[in-house]
């Protein structure tokens, strides 16, 4: 399981409203929602005069989903709180935890507005709305009879509580620097392809204020899974080598044919986009410095499960910048595990946790008053299902910095923090990634990059792993070692290498139980 989290930092306090609106559009179904305290209100417009359904699903399908069905039947508005236990007619909840505000229809469309609590405490029928990734599932029927909806359905992963920027931002006022890759995608399941780029020639420092993906064709949308731009640290006398590769088609990031390709000098993550991400604009007083003559490596993850040949398309990143400097410079911190053979999940595992640390050796040089955090991006491969960043300070675990209990590999947006989170000198961060679910039959079944070409006395690494007698005792020991033993940590760019594990602290942080408080 490859884990990574990238956090954007600035030296200022952010004020984020607790009330905001965001929109999700599909062809014949539009939904918008608004948060106010512990209440969420949905407004739906659907091209039908029959029933309209909206569901909240942790896994993306109907099974286990919390579903609301409403409409106008014989001139009378109605709304029902239901849940699904399979791909069949949703069951009416014993507790009705939705409130109909209004519902009406015209000759072609139905309009519904309703509200519910974020946490209804109905464990049987409802799904809590939290900061986790969740799938909105939707459907509508030709009549108000609750029968199979046919093709009138869909789903979309969202983060319902995340504050959002403007719906249609004006990007014309910014200059654009493109890190573009033009290539025929390799005919392999997964390819990480790297190219070298150079920052534009600017007369003085500029500020990068946002970025977006270059996805100009259907193939680019389908086959570009994620991209990252890395800042290169060029050794003295190596500029000519980097210049050679500026107009180069690139190399496989991990197995380059050209031994002189300088990608290994580029390890500081600068910008990242993943499937599900949209245009990202930073707060109005924050910008990332841009100067002339810096080299960057663009790493593109091509996803080609059908091994298609000769599919060529443009992809990459657009960086938006301005000469009107913002008040504050921003920076980045990345926490994660390097990809190697120790990133292994034993065969037939239902649960497993991987941990990475960022300790005081990395945070000691922060400003005395610390830094405020405004955006984050979490990333793991297919076997990652839960991701959490724990924060420790002065022997105490603080509330979790980031927590997503339902991470979706196919939805990895750059997300804003809902409220100010601060990182102080001496803080310790621990990234914990876990998988749950059906047993893995093979240590690399769901993570192609773990399939390393290692040979051990004539056997591959996977064969060696499968040959181990994974008794419950061996599994428990291996999990304990990988989770709680000391790790080799490397702090870039300082180059500090340390042995690190969880710091001494009191009780582990446990979030408050809203439902328990209500029952008192």
In three-state secondary structure terms, 294 is coil
Q: Which residue, among 470, 477, 450, 462, has the nearest Cα to 349 in the 3D structure? A: 470
DSSP label of 364: T
- Asked whether the predicted pLDDT for residue 27 surpasses 50, the reply is yes
Pick the catalytic residue from 197, 226, 357, 379. Answer: 379
For every residue of 391-444, which 3-state class applies, written as one string? EEECCEECCCCEEECCCECCECCCEEEEEEEEECCCCEEEEEEEECCCCCCCCC
Q: How far is residue 191 CA from its own chain's centroid?
A: 20
CB 379 within 8 A of CB 9: no
Query: Angle 140-142-146 (CA atoms, 0-180°, nearest 5)?
Result: 65
Proportion of the chain in helix, strand, coil states, percent, rounded to 5: 10, 45, 45
Parallel, antiparallel, or unpaired: how do β-strands 386-393 and 153-158 relate?
unpaired
Q: Which residue, among 104, 66, 101, 4, has the nearest Cα to 378 in the 3D structure? A: 4
The predicted pLDDT at position 350 comes to 81
Give the CA distances from residue 141 to residues 19, 99, 138, in Å, rounded to whole numbers and listed in that order. 32, 22, 11
CB 380 within 8 A of CB 335: no
Catalogue all structural domains in the chain, each as residue range(s) with its CATH number.
21-158 (2.60.40.1210), 348-369+379-515 (no CATH)
Pick the catalytic residue from 192, 245, 295, 407. Answer: 192
Q: How far is residue 104 CA from its own chain's centroid?
A: 37
Q: What is the pTM of this model?
A: 0.82
Joined tokens for residue 63: 């099974």
More confident residue, 219 or 14: 219
CB 342 within 8 A of CB 354: no
Does the active-site annotation cover 192?
A: yes
> How does pLDDT run across 84-136, given as a tens digit for each residue?
998 889 999 999 999 999 999 999 999 999 999 999 999 888 999 999 999 99
Average pLDDT, integer, range 141-152:
88
For every residue of 158-194, which 3-state class applies, written as one string? ECCCCCCCCCCCCCCCCEEEEEEEEEEECCCCEEEEE
Joined tokens for residue 508: 């582990």
- Asked whether the predicted pLDDT for residue 36 surpasses 50, the reply is yes
Collect all residues with Cβ–Cβ distance below 8 Å to 351 and sequence separation of at least 6: 434, 435, 436
More confident residue, 382 or 147: 147
Q: Which residue, among 145, 151, 202, has the nearest Cα to 177 in the 3D structure? A: 202
More confident residue, 27 or 137: 137
């Amino acid at each position: 399981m490859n884990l990574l989290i990238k956090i954007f930092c600035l030296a200022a306090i952010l004020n984020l409203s607790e009330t905001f609106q965001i929109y999700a559009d599909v062809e014949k179904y539009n939904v918008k929602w608004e948060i106010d305290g512990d209440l969420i209100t949905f407004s739906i417009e659907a091209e039908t005069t029959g029933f309209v359904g909206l569901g909240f699903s942790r896994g993306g399908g109907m099974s286990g989903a919390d579903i609301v069905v409403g409409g106008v039947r014989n001139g009378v508005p109605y709304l029902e709180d239901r849940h699904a236990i399979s791909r069949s007619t949703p069951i009416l909840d014993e507790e009705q935890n939705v409130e109909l505000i209004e519902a009406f229809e015209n000759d072609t469309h139905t309009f519904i507005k309703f509200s519910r609590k974020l946490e209804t405490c109905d464990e049987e029928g409802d799904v809590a709305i939290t900061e986790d990734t969740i799938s909105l599932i939707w459907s509508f029927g030709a009549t108000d009879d609750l029968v199979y909806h046919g093709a009138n359905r869909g789903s979309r992963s969202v983060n319902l509580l995340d504050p959002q920027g403007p719906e249609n931002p004006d990007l014309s006022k910014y200059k654009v620097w493109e890190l573009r890759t033009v290539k025929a995608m390799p005919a392999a399941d997964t390819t990480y392809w790297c190219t070298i780029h150079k920052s534009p020639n600017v007369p003085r420092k500029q500020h990068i204020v946002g970025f977006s993906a270059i996805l100009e064709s259907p193939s680019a949308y389908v086959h570009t899974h994620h991209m990252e731009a890395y800042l290169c640290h060029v050794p003295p006398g190596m500029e000519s080598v980097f210049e050679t590769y500026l107009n180069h088609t690139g190399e496989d990031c991990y197995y380059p044919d050209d031994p002189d390709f300088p990608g290994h000098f580029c390890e500081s993550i600068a910008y990242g986009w993943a499937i599900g991400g949209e245009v990202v604009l930073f707060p109005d007083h924050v910008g990332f410095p841009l100067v002339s003559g810096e080299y960057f490596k663009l790493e593109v993850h091509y996803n080609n499960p059908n091994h298609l040949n000769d599919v060529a398309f443009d992809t990459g990143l657009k960086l938006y910048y301005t000469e009107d400097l913002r008040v504050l410079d921003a920076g980045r911190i990345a926490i994660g595990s390097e990809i190697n053979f120790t990133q292994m999940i034993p065969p037939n595992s239902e649960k497993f946790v991987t941990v990475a640390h960022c300790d005081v050796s990395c945070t000691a040089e922060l400003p005395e008053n610390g830094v405020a955090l405004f955006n984050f991006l979490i990333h793991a491969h297919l076997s990652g299902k839960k991701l959490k960043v724990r924060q420790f300070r002065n022997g105490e675990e603080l509330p979790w910095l980031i927590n997503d209990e339902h991470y979706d590999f196919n939805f990895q947006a750059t997300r804003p923090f809902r409220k100010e989170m601060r990182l102080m000198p001496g803080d310790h961060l621990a990234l914990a990634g876990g998988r749950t679910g059906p047993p893995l039959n093979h240590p690399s079944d769901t993570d192609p990059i773990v399939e390393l070409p290692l040979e051990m006395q004539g056997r591959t690494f996977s064969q060696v792993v499968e040959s181990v007698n994974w008794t419950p005792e061996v599994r428990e020991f291996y999990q304990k070692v990988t989770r709680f033993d000391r790790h080799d940590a490397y702090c870039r760019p300082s180059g500090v290498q340390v042995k690190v594990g969880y710091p001494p602290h009191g009780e582990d942080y446990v979030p408050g139980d809203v439902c328990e408080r209500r029952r008192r």
